[in-house]
């Protein structure tokens, strides 16, 4: 199979989804109104609620939701063959991820910037809300702990990425000052920022920073993990315009350019896909394609984490409601393109089928390192970029994706801690809530790992896929109830909801058997808890949807929508 054909077909499907399907969702399902007063306008505080240019906000949203997952998931899932991964990524981006992310953003904006966890209390009930908070806290704990490991491993394996990764923070702070204090023209800021980042990549490739095997009595990886958590804690407390937003925006531009370079190399070199279309002889121990494919590839098809970002930070920065289509749906498009590029790279970046099979000799063998090494080979063949510099570009891209997600993840988990505290009658300050998040993150990282490497988060990582997709189902349930109460078309949301629920429950049952056979009692107990939660979701959501169908439309919703229609002339 020629990789160029697959690339062009995949891009065409995803772009068509944005041009056609997202327009239908925006105008007929969510009915976005340019005159609706968004939370960023109503509650402007210069810290969390900040009206933001849609291109800047897209950069924050895209890089926050992407992380390393759209690289890791597809890079693992191609073990079943490239066809299943390709179909799930392309069709998932169009009909699942874009709809989910746009819907979560719309739902939060229409509810004064409330998070999905808070909305669950209103639309599903207090039991649903409590379930939401537990699932969200657990998922964020996994994301923060594991992404710290991913970043640390890449910084150790690719020391040429150290300078550009940390230098990007300095660039971001200066960009924030240029946009909000000095009022620079956005295109000028963008050009200067991108040039600065790529200059850092060249500098890092020339001067790699390789730490000794032990630093302050810790392994190099453990040292980086502690530094990352401390940095993320500080970053999560700063006003969004000062670091988080400009960092994500300029990273988003750099990462999109990086994707452009990667796709250009694919089109020029036209490597042959050596991996099988459908792998009929996977390595022993490889689980079945159904349902594991649909939880292995989450980000890049549909991911519950995106709903937390949409309703946690992006909704508080949306300037106009109509910007949600570009920020939410097109953010999912960017991630889908990254996942598609990953599929091409890890199936065509090998000389022979034998070399591919050697790498994929067992399930979970593929990952970020495979993406960097095979992608570097394609960049070298297609654009004659030196192998070392190619690896630096891709490693920096992967780390920046993961780092921006971790920044946002720590901030979101701080919100959840504050919300849980409120339900318990406790009022946590921003500092106290952040300290609690860092303590839990480092506690999992080091407490669950007897070697002291800080990789304890990997212990519960096998549950990430099912937990993440359960959260996506919860989010879709809330959106469905909101649409039913407004008498809007709800099948575009309900059908994906049912599919995700079925696959998630099926995957949970498969894992229960697997963990029992392995004698992994910790994961078995946690998996059973999540399975009970999934059943709870089905019951609570069905009851909520049934109530919404039989009740009169919410008067507040009716009045708000009538007002926006009158003001916009619709």
Within a 10 A sphere around the Cβ of 551, how many other Cβ atoms? Answer: 10
Report d(CA 185, CA 201) in Å as an integer: 25
* Listed ranges 97-101, 259-263, 521-525; the one with the highest mean pLDDT: 97-101
With H, G, I as helix, E, B as strand and everything else as coil, classify residue 2. strand
Give the alpha-carbon dihedral of 227, 230, 236, 240, to 10 degrees.
Answer: -50
Region 482-493: what's the mean pLDDT?
92
pLDDT at position 449 is: 67
pLDDT at position 464 is: 82
With H, G, I as helix, E, B as strand and everything else as coil, classify residue 272. strand
Region 106-114: what's the mean pLDDT?
92
Residue 490 CB partners (closer than 8 Å, separation 6+)? 29, 480, 483, 484
Instruction: Examine the pLDDT at 453 and tell me if it is beyond 80.
Output: no
What global pTM score does this model have? 0.84
Helix 162-176 to helix 186-206 angle, to the nearest 10 degrees? Answer: 160
Place of tokens 């750099």: 254
Peptide bond into 3 cis (omega under 30): no
Instruction: Examine the pLDDT at 554 and tell me if it is beyond 70.
Output: no
Q: Residue 558: which pLDDT band, with cuts at 50, 70 and 90?
A: very low
**113-122, 237-246, 532-541, range with the lowest pLDDT:** 532-541
Instruction: Examine the pLDDT at 446 and tell me if it is beyond 90.
Output: no
Instruction: Examine the pLDDT at 148 and tell me if it is beyond 50.
Output: yes
Region 206-226: what's the mean pLDDT?
88
Instruction: State percent of the chain over pLDDT 90.
Output: 30
**Is the separation of the CB atoms in 68 and 469 below 8 Å?**
no
For 475-529, strand residue ranges (E) read: none
Region 161-172: what's the mean pLDDT?
90
| Digit-coded pLDDT (tens) for 81-95 | 999 999 999 999 999
**204-218, 263-277, 365-379, range with the lowest pLDDT:** 365-379
Region 352-370: what's the mean pLDDT?
80
pLDDT at position 235 is: 86
Region 423-429: what's the mean pLDDT?
84
Q: Residue 562: which pLDDT band, with cuts at 50, 70 and 90?
A: very low
pLDDT at position 452 is: 65
Instruction: Examine the pLDDT at 565 and tell me if it is beyond 70.
Output: no
**Is the separation of the CB atoms in 109 and 318 below 8 Å?**
yes
**27-31, 78-82, 223-227, 356-360, range with the lowest pLDDT:** 356-360
Report d(CA 432, CA 416) in Å as an integer: 13
Report d(CA 227, CA 215) in Å as an integer: 12
**Is the separation of the CB atoms in 68 and 457 below 8 Å?**
no
Q: Residue 460: which pLDDT band, with cuts at 50, 70 and 90?
A: confident
Region 550-561: what's the mean pLDDT?
56
Instruction: Examine the pLDDT at 561 and tell me if it is beyond 70.
Output: no
Instruction: Examine the pLDDT at 76 and tell me if it is beyond 60.
Output: yes
pLDDT at position 230 is: 92
Instruction: Examine the pLDDT at 568 and tell me if it is beyond 50.
Output: no
| Digit-coded pLDDT (tens) for 240-262 | 788 878 887 887 787 778 888 88
Which CATH code for domain 3-41+53-271+290-568? 1.20.1740
Report d(CA 325, CA 309) in Å as an integer: 15
**25-39, 91-105, 173-187, 315-329, range with the lowest pLDDT:** 173-187
Report d(CA 239, CA 312) in Å as an integer: 14
Q: Which residue has the higher pLDDT, 285 or 79?
A: 79
| Digit-coded pLDDT (tens) for 23-63 | 999 999 999 999 999 999 999 887 788 899 998 898 888 87
Residue 212 CB partners (closer than 8 Å, separation 6+)? 220
Place of tokens 């990549």: 201
Instruction: State percent of the chain over pLDDT 70.
Output: 95
**Token pair for 188:** 């000028």
Region 159-176: what's the mean pLDDT?
89
Average pLDDT along the chain: 85
Q: Which residue has the higher pLDDT, 25 or 70?
A: 25
**154-168, 235-249, 356-370, 516-530, range with the lowest pLDDT:** 356-370
Report d(CA 325, CA 25) in Å as an integer: 9
Region 532-537: what's the mean pLDDT?
76
If you compute the radius of gyration of the chain from its CA atoms, what whole number of angstroms results?
Answer: 22
């Amino acid at each position: 199979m020629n990789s160029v054909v697959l690339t062009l077909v995949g891009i065409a499907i995803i772009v068509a989804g944005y041009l056609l399907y997202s327009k239908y969702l925006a105008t007929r399902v969510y009915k976005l109104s340019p005159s609706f007063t968004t939370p960023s306008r109503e509650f402007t505080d210069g810290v969390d609620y900040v009206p933001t240019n849609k291109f800047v906000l897209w950069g924050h949203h895209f890089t926050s939701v992407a992380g390393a997952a759209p690289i890791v998931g597809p890079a693992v899932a191609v073990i079943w063959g490239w066809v299943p991964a390709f179909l799930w990524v392309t069709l998932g981006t169009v009909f699942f991820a874009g709809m989910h992310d746009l819907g979560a953003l719309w739902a939060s904006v229409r509810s004064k910037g409330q998070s999905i966890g808070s909305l669950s209390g209103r639309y599903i009930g207090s039991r649903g809300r409590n379930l939401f908070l537990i699932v969200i806290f657990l998922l964020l704990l996994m994301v923060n702990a594991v992404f710290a490991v991913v970043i640390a491993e890449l910084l150790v394996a690719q020391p040429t990425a150290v300078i550009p990764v940390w230098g990007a923070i300095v660039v971001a702070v200066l960009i924030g000052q240029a946009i909000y204090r000095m009022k620079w023209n956005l295109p000028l800021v963008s050009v200067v920022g991108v040039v600065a980042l790529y200059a850092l990549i060249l500098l890092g490739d020339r001067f790699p920073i390789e730490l000794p095997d032990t630093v302050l009595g810790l392994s190099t990886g453990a040292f980086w993990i502690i530094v990352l958590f401390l940095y993320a804690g500080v970053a999560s407390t700063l006003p969004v315009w000062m670091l988080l937003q400009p960092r994500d925006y300029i990273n988003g531009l750099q990462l999109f350019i990086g994707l452009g370079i990667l796709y250009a190399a694919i089109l020029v070199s036209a490597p042959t896909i050596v991996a099988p279309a459908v792998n009929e002889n996977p390595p022993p121990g490889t689980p079945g394609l159904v349902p594991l494919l649909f939880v292995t590839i989450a980000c890049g098809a549909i991911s519950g984490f995106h709903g937390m970002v949409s309703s946690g930070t992006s909704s508080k920065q949306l300037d106009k409601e109509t910007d949600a289509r570009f920020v939410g749906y097109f953010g999912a498009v960017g991630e889908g393109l990254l996942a598609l590029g990953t599929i091409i790279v890890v199936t065509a970046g090998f000389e022979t089928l034998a070399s591919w099979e050697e790498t994929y000799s067992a399930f979970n063998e593929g990952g970020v390192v495979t993406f960097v090494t095979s992608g570097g080979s394609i960049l070298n063949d297609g654009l004659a970029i030196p192998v070392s510099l190619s690896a630096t570009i891709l490693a920096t891209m992967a780390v920046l994706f993961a780092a921006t997600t971790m920044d946002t993840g720590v901030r979101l988990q701080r919100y959840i801690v504050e919300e849980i505290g409120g339900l318990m009658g406790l009022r946590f300050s921003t500092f106290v809530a952040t300290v609690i998040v860092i303590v839990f993150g480092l506690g999992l990282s080091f407490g669950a790992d007897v070697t002291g490497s800080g990789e304890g988060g990997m212990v519960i990582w096998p549950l990430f896929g099912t937990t993440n997709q359960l959260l996506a189902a919860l989010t879709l349930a809330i959106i469905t109830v909101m649409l039913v109460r407004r008498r809007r078309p709800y099948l575009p949301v309900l059908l994906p909801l049912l599919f995700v629920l079925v696959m998630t429950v099926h995957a949970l049952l498969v894992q229960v058997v697997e963990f029992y056979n392995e004698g992994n009692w910790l994961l078995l107990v946690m998996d059973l808890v999540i399975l009970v939660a999934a059943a709870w979701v089905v019951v609570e959501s069905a009851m909520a949807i049934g109530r919404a169908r039989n009740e009169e439309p919410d008067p507040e919703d009716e009045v708000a929508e009538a007002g926006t229609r009158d003001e916009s002339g619709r």
